[in-house]
Amino acid sequence: MQWPIPRFLSILFLLLLPWNGFSDELPPAQFSIFPMMFEVEVGPSPVNESIAVTNHKKRPTTFRVELYTWTLDDHHELKLIRSTPQTLDQWIVVNPVRFTMPPGGQQTVRFSIHPRVKPEPGEHRAILYLVEEPPAVDPGSGIQLLSRFGISIYGYVQPVNHAARLLDLSYSQSTGIISAQVLNTGNVHARLRGKYVIWKKGSFRGLSSTKRLLETIEPGKEPEGYVASGIIPGNPVLAGTTMRYSMKAPLPRQGGGPYVVAIIGELDGKPLEKVLE
């Protein structure tokens, strides 16, 4: 699979998913929703959290709440799956489940997590959708853009085992593709994330210099030999799975290689620094 290019640079797991005529793009500043991701410890005591929603539209807006459990398919796309007594969505109570906000209005959506059965150790996942409903009165503006926001919820039950391993991290001089393969034998998800810098081979200044460059680089003032840099998205590798990623590096059309790729990042919270040739 290819690393997807995120539409929004953030730590949240934001899903603007088209369905049944819904648009996958929203006009700027239609809504503010915070936070968009939760990671919580689940135990015998209830866990209480809240989501703040603000309506920036010039008309009242109604949302309804939907809860599901999910996994990732072979293409690293979110896939809703059937709930069981052990899935997190079955342990969540939300209030309110439907609400209307006036223009400029705010709403707090609260939810509580309390397992109904003894939870199995490891990671439990849910996604809470805020689904915008069509207005009761046709605004007469032609095409309506309605949205669906996904707030991801990760619940962790002890004992938690982090056990991700990098099987491959490589760069192809002929195609300009950076590839990685991660095996996760733990019981919680792992993420490979960070940044990369591409140098002309004879100009590579080492990993320490590259890290300093990432902190100070300014457009138009790149050092000699610098070619490009970018972000490695922190896509989750779910427990018990192996995931392969690939990403096309932005190289000059005229060529000019060979190149050296410096990787500065982390895997499952542990530092990862590699030089690829």
Q: Cα(227)–Cα(62) distance, rounded to whole angstroms?
A: 48
Question: What mean pLDDT do residues 266-270 have?
Answer: 95
Phi, psi of 211 (to 5 degrees): -65, -40
Please tell me the distance from the alpha carbon of residue 56 to that of residue 3, in angstroms, as a whole number: 32
Calpha distance 1→247 (Å, rounded): 9
Do residues 166 and 243 touch, judged by C-beta distance below 8 A? Answer: no
Residues 35-56 have pLDDT tens digits of 999 999 999 999 999 999 999 9
Q: Let me know: does 131 contact 63? Beta carbons within 8 Å.
A: yes
128: pLDDT strictly greater than 50: yes
Residue 71 in 3-state DSSP? strand
| Lowest mean pLDDT segment, chosen from 48-57, 72-81, 88-97, 246-255 | 246-255
Encoded tokens for 40 = 């919580």
Cα separation, 151 vs 128, in Å, equals: 5
Under 8 Å CB-to-CB from 118, ≥6 apart: which residues? none
> CA torsion 88→128→189→3, rounded to 10°?
150
**Gap between the Cα atoms of 266 and 235, Å rounded:** 12
Quick check: 142 pLDDT over 70? no
Rounded Cα gap, residues 244 and 10, in angstroms:
22
What domains lie within the chain, and their CATH numbers? 31-157 (2.60.40.10), 164-276 (2.60.40.10)
pLDDT score of 11 more than 50: no
Element (H, E) at 210: helix 207-216
* pLDDT tens-digit series, residues 164-221: 999 999 999 888 899 999 999 999 999 999 999 999 988 998 999 898 888 888 887 8
Mean of pLDDT over the chain: 86
Beta bridge partners, 63, equal 99, 132
CA distance 174 to 255: 10
User: Given this model, what pLDDT does residue 24 score?
Assistant: 44
Exposure string of 231-248, with b = 16+ CB inside 10 Å and e = fewer, is ebbbbbbbbebebebebe
Against a cut of 0.85, is the pTM above it?
A: no
CA dist list (Å): 86 to 67, 73, 78, 93, 113: 14, 20, 19, 15, 13
Cα angle value 61/143/63 (rounded, 5°): 20
Top-ranked range on mean pLDDT: pick from 8-12, 14-18, 133-137: 133-137
| Mean pLDDT for the stretch of residues 118-143 | 86
The pLDDT, as a whole number, for residue 104 is: 94
